[in-house]
Structure 1
């Protein structure tokens, strides 16, 4: 099992385009046994993907050349023993569409503490995902 997390800057997207991304992703991920989470806020994507290494890496190569975003930056990757998001073919989290999963993410981010070196999850890629999510949520709260 393999995972990776990346961050990118979205081109200007409307709700229809975001839904197209989600529908395509969920269909592909279901067919290829990929799970994960996509966060979108204020023109920024953070995505966590997990599955068989070859499939995840091939998908990431396609993601990197997708014209709907740019400045794709790999934050972390590696082998894992088990999935973090085993029931999410591709969960979508956004403050613009609050839901139970978004509230769960806020709870997870809030429970990690302020020290970036202190974490419960031993997987470094998962750690990078939650730290990126925390930074994104902090920027949201600072503007409120």
Structure 2
């Protein structure tokens, strides 16, 4: 099993365009046994992908050239023993979710921080960060999460 984390800057996307990205991602990921989480905050994306190394790496190369965002920066990649988001083809968190716990996630993706050299821990390259995202998703529940986006 393999995981990959990247960040990027969105190209002024509307909520409908983000919904389109989620539908495309969930469909593709479901067909290719990829799971993960997408976070969108203040024009920035951070995404965690997990699955087969070849499939995830090939997908990332397509993501890199997608015109809906730019400054795509690989933050981390590597082997993992188990999936973190095994029940989500593509989980989604954004500042649109009415949940106080999202304040923690917002702090970690704040563009004022340089993520690769962040002194704040955990950051999007750490397992603790994604565990916090997963706990937030579990708290919200699959039903609410699917309704939000």
Q: TM-score, normalised by structure 1?
A: 0.73
Structure 1 runs not aligned, ≥5 long: 135-144
Offset at residue 115 of structure 1 (A): 6.3
Offset at residue 15 of structure 1 (A): 0.9
Provide the residue aligned with 2:129 in structure 1. Answer: 130
Q: TM-score, normalised by structure 2?
A: 0.70
RMSD of the alignment, in Å? 3.1
User: Residues 32-71 of structure 1: matches in 2 within 5 Å?
Assistant: 32-71=32-71
Change (3 A) 1:31 1:25: same
Q: Distance in 1 between the 2:17 and 2:80 partners?
A: 32
Runs ≥4 in structure 1, deviation > 3 angstroms?
Answer: 102-107
Q: Distance in 2 between the 1:76 and 1:25 partners?
A: 20
Offset at residue 88 of structure 1 (A): 1.1
How many matched pairs? 121
Offset at residue 23 of structure 1 (A): 0.2
Q: Distance in 2 between the 1:115 and 1:68 partners?
A: 28
Q: Distance in 1 between the 2:29 and 2:97 partners?
A: 22
Q: Distance in 2 between the 1:39 and 1:128 partners?
A: 15
